[in-house]
Each structure stands twice: as structure tokens, then as C-alpha cells.
Amino acid sequence: MGSPLSKILIIEDDRKMSAALVSGLEAAGYEVSAANSAEEGFFLVHTLRPDLLLLDLTLPQRNGLDVLRQIRKEGIDLRVLILTSHNTVEDRVEGLRTGADDYLGKPFSFTELTARIDALLRRFLMSLPSQFVTIGDLSIDTKSRTASRNSGQLDLTAREFDLLLYLAENRGRTVSREMLAKDVWHENSRFTPINNVIDVQMARLRKKVDDPFEVKLLQTVRGLGFILREPQS
């Protein structure tokens, strides 16, 4: 069965092989798309944002290693499993050094293919940061961009959520107004006075996060900035 992150792209010019892979992988629970050329495949890498790429090396006009080099050059976060009849030790070493995560020579067992796919996706899932950030009874869901406290939903604006998440990512540390201006407001100019804007937003955030609750999490550090930390025992 496919991983929860199971969007797979196949770049394979052999249409019979491609169709068989699509059929088998869809039956195994994956969401599958296919391209028959490097150009089409590279376009789908950008538009579909797959979790894993099955890449044939022998493609018309532009070979698979060229595609792989471009993917790695652009820093696209994508696991790549090479499927090819070029299966010498030198071929495998070149593919792995170019940036492939795994290499499987043709012909191959479909069971082995799905096992390798699952292993790659499982390692990726283990490397992901947690979707949830918790501080005391405050819970932040980074995927849905929502926050709750004591199981009650907090009605936050987009800016307030960004501000809360930044404070949570720096939990236990004092965050200065300069840091907030740069990292949350993306304002790098020293001549743009936004301290008042930050203070107003912080007051609104505190009203929602702390005021209804006995235990206060968000504190002002006089002359330095703000800190979000676990409740003191």
C-alpha cells in the first residue's frame, strides 16, 4: 500500500512499460502520472510536485541524467529512483553521484520496486518536521495554519498566525522587534519604523492567546522583545 505521500511521476519513453507501471502502482495505492520524454517529465515535476520520480535514463533527445542534474541544480525536494537497463556498477555509481536516491536495473521484480518506493517515502516522512507544535496547552497545526488552546480554536488572522508560529519556533528565547521585522514582516530597511505595528499585532495576539486563560504563555521582556514559553511550574 502506498504511503500517505504517494504522488509518483514516471518518466519512461517505452509506452508499454510506462502503462504497466502506471497500472500496477495505481493498484498498489499510489497516485501516478507519466511522461514519455524528458521535456514533458520536467514540466510535470514543476506542475505536479510529485513525492517520488521513477526515471528512465534512456530518453529521446535529452537523457535521464540530464533531467536529474537539473532537478538537483534547482534544489527540488524530490526522491528519485532510477529504472534502467544500464545496470553496470559504473552506471549505478554515476546515477547515485548525480543525485539519485536509489537505482533499480531492468528487468526488475514489481514487488522489489514497490518495496524500494515505500522505503524511500518512509525515510522522507521520518525526516519531515512535525506538523504540530505544542507549548503547554497551546497547539499549532502548521499544515492547516490553525491554532488552539485548551482544545478551543483561536481565531487568528494570517499575520497573527505567522507571528505566533515564529514565536513558537523560537520558544523559550527572546525575540526582538528587529527579528520580527525581518523574519515575519520581511522588512529589511532600517529606516522603516514598524515597531508600533509590531506592538499592536502583539497586543492583539496576546488578547487571543493569553487573555482568556489563567496561565500566560506570551510575555514581554522589557527593552529586549517578546518570549513564548512553557508555563512555569
Indicate the pLDDT class of residue 2, thresholds 50, 70 and 90: very low
Q: Which of 12-21, 67-76, 129-138 has the highest mean pLDDT?
A: 12-21
* 64 vs 34, residue with greater confidence: 34
The mean per-residue pLDDT over the stretch 202-229 comes to 94
Report which DSSP code applies to 90: H
For residue 195, the SS3 value is: helix
Q: Which residues contact 196 (CB under 8 A, 6 or more apart)?
A: none
Residue holding cell 531492468?
106
Report percent pLDDT > 90 for the chain.
45
Q: Would you state the cell numbers that stand for residue 25, as one nine-digit string?
A: 502502482
Per-residue model confidence (pLDDT) at position 207: 96
Q: Where are the domains of the chain?
A: 7-127, 132-228
Pairing mode, strands 7-11 and 152-153: unpaired
Q: Please indicate whether the domains covering 7-127 and 132-228 agree at the CATH topology level.
A: no
The band of 92, judged by pLDDT with boundaries at 50, 70 and 90, is confident
Select from 3.30.420.40, 1.10.10.10, 3.40.50.720, 3.40.50.360 the CATH code of 132-228.
Answer: 1.10.10.10
Q: What is the mean pLDDT of residues 61-76?
A: 87
User: What is the rounded distance in angstroms from the CA atom of residue 53 to the CA atom of residue 83?
Assistant: 10
Fold of 7-127: Rossmann fold (3.40.50)
Query: Interior CA angle at 4 toward 35 and 120, to 5°?
Result: 65
- Give the CA angle between residues 47, 51, 57 to the nearest 5°: 85
Q: pTM for this one?
A: 0.54
Whole-angstrom CA distances from 128 to 8, 99, 131, 149 are: 18, 20, 8, 24
Q: What is the pLDDT of residue 154?
A: 95
**78-88 mean pLDDT:** 86
| Cα dihedral 213→216→222→225 (10° resolution) | -100
